[in-house]
Amino acid sequence: MASAAAVAVAGGLISFNLVGTGTAQKQAALPEKAMESELVTGAITARRETAPPQALAPEAAFSLPASPETQPGRTNASANSKPTCKNPNALGISRTVEIDTTGGPGFGFEHFKQHDFLRDKEVVLTFDDGPWPTTTAVVKALADECVLATFFAIGKHATYYPEILRSVAEAGHSVGSHTWSHQDLSKKSAEEAKAEIEKAISAVQWALGTRAQEASFFRFPALRHPAEMVTYLGQRNIAVFSTDMDSFDFKLRKPEQIIKSIMTKLQKHGKGIVLMHDFQTGTSHAVPQLLAELKAGGYKIVHLKSRMPIQTLPEFDEGLQKDQKLPTVSQRPTSSIVRDVQ
C-alpha cells in the first residue's frame, strides 16, 4: 500500500456516475452523459448494443469444480481452482506464470525491456476495453480451446456489465484494470490521473464482487506511460503491461485482417504478449480462427496470474457506493429476472 501522501486524491475527483447495481438498470436508465463518445483505442463506446449479454454456452470446454460464489470471501478462481478441460484436442495452456507485482514491474517489449520470461513460440493473450457484450463471444471461444487470457477492464464498462466481467473471472481468466474511462493519462494532472486509475480499480473489484479478486495488473490507455504514473503504480505494487505486438484490431476491424496481423508478427518475433480488444466486434469473431492458427503453428499459450490481489483504496470504494443511483433490494442477476416468454 502506498503512503498516504502518494494516494491522497482530492475528494471532488471521486465521482463514478453509476446508474445502479445491475445490467438491467443500466440499460433501462443509463443517463445520456454516460453514453457520450469516449475514446477507446480508436473506437467509440457511445453506441448502444441491442442484444443483451448472453451467458456462456453450457458446451464450453472449461468447467470449474465449484462456483466461487459458494466460497467465503473473495476468491481468485484462476488461482484456487484449475478448470477441467473437456476438449482432448484443445490448444490449452502450456504453463501458468505467477507475477510478483511488488514495486510495479513492467512487461511488454514495446516499452519495457527488462523481463523476458517467454520461451520460443510462447504467447500471452491479452484483451482490453471490456467488459462489453462482445466479451461473451471471446470468453466462449477461449473456453472451447481451454485457453486462459488476461483482460484489462475499463472501470466504467465494469459498472455497465458486471455480470459479463464476473463470467470472465469465473472462466479462470485474470482481470486487471485499464482506467475508469480510457483517458490519455499523459494529458491529465497527477491527481486526475490517479483518480482515473483508482476509480477503475474500485469499479472492477466491485463488479467482481465476492466471486474473484482483481489482479494487480494495469495497462495504460493508448500505451502512453507518464513517468509519474508509472512511479505511482510501482508504489501501489501494481504491474504495468505494455505489449510485444499490437494487433491493431481497432483499425483493421475485419477478422481475417486481425488474424493475419497477429500471425505475421508472431512469425517475425517468435513469441510475445499480444494486445487485442474484446470490445471490438471483429476481434470477437476472429478469436476462434486465431486459436486454430496458433495451434496449427505450434504456438503455446502462457497464462499470467498475480501473486497478490490488488488492494482498493477505501475512499474510492466509498465514492463508488455513494454514486450508485436508486439501488433496489433485489440483487439477482438480470438473467434470473428477465426472460423471453414468447
For residues 276 and 152, give the distance between their C-alpha atoms in angstroms, rounded to a whole number: 10
Q: What is the pLDDT of residue 220?
A: 98
Catalytic residue among 128, 129, 246, 249: 128
Catalytic residue among 173, 182, 277, 285: 277
For residues 204 and 160, give the distance between their C-alpha atoms in angstroms, rounded to a whole number: 11
User: In this predicted model, what pLDDT tens digit does every residue of 35-94 receive, in sequence order?
Assistant: 333 344 443 344 333 333 343 343 445 443 333 333 334 444 444 455 688 899 999 999
pTM, 2 dp: 0.78
pLDDT confidence band for 322 (50 / 70 / 90): confident
| 197: nearest Cα among 215, 185, 208 | 185
Residue 277: active-site member: yes
User: In this predicted model, what pLDDT tens digit does every residue of 244-298 receive, in sequence order?
Assistant: 999 999 999 899 999 999 999 999 999 999 999 999 999 999 999 999 999 999 9
Residue 340: active-site member: no
Residue 129 backbone zone (phi > 0: left; psi -120 to 50: alpha; other: beta): left
- What are the E-state strand segments in the chain? 39-40, 43-44, 62-63, 84-85, 95-99, 106-107, 122-128, 150-153, 174-177, 217-218, 239-241, 245-246, 272-277, 300-306
* Helical axes 314-322 vs 190-208, angle rounded to 10°: 70
User: In this predicted model, what pLDDT tens digit does every residue of 91-134 receive, in sequence order?
Assistant: 999 999 999 999 999 999 888 988 999 999 999 999 999 999 99
DSSP 52-112: PPPPPPTT-SEE-SS-GGGSSS---HHHHSPPEE--TT----SEEEEE--TT--EE-TTT-
Q: What is the mean pLDDT of residues 136-140?
A: 98
User: In this predicted model, what pLDDT tens digit does every residue of 191-238 receive, in sequence order?
Assistant: 999 999 999 999 999 999 988 999 999 999 999 999 999 999 999 999
